[in-house]
């Protein structure tokens, strides 16, 4: 990881590169006001040092939300969740472990996908 981008920003950039055109990937600390296209929202849930690694190595856990508009069909949400888990599998420094149907902020139907990544803090020379 570099100091100019957080792990969350790097995960968002990697997902933008893997997902089809037209998707919205947000790495901001806010819930969308409107959803008009497939949307992914990323939150860092936790991080901890890796016990067997040198100082500056971490395991980070993210909530990667796949969201659709409230009036969208269930099959559309299922398809979008499959697309995102497929994209995550193509990012070699992430592992997704569970995808649970839920509603972000009680408003936006979606899947909450738990993603872990092992990262290393980079230091200036």
With cut-offs at 50, 70 and 90, classify the pLDDT of residue 121.
Answer: confident
Does 124 have pLDDT greater than 60? Answer: no
Beta-carbon contacts of 71 under 8 Å, excluding residues fewer than 6 positions away, are none
Instruction: Annotate 70-122 with DSSP letters as a single string.
Output: TTS-HHHHHHHHHHHHHHHHTSTTEEEEEEEEEEETTTEEEEEEEEEEEEE--
pLDDT in tens, 69-106: 999 999 999 999 999 999 999 999 999 999 999 999 99
Mean predicted lDDT score pLDDT of the chain: 90
pLDDT in tens, 29-50: 788 899 999 999 999 999 998 8
Fold of domain 7-120: STM4215-like (3.30.2000)
113 vs 47 pLDDT, higher one? 113
C-alpha 50: how far from its chain's center? 21
Neighbours of 5 (CB within 10 A): 13
C-alpha 78: how far from its chain's center? 16
């Amino acid at each position: 990881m570099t100091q100019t981008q957080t792990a969350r920003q790097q995960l968002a950039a990697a997902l933008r590169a893997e997902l089809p055109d037209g998707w919205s990937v947000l790495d901001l600390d806010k819930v969308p006001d409107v959803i008009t296209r497939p949307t992914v929202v990323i939150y860092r849930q936790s991080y901890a040092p890796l016990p067997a690694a040198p100082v500056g190595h971490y395991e980070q856990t993210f909530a990667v939300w796949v969201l659709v508009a409230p009036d969208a069909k269930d099959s559309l949400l299922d398809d979008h969740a499959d697309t995102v888990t497929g994209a995550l599998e193509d990012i070699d420094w992430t592992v997704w472990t569970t995808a649970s149907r839920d509603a972000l902020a009680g408003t936006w139907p979606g899947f909450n996908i738990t993603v872990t990544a092992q990262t290393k803090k980079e230091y200036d020379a």
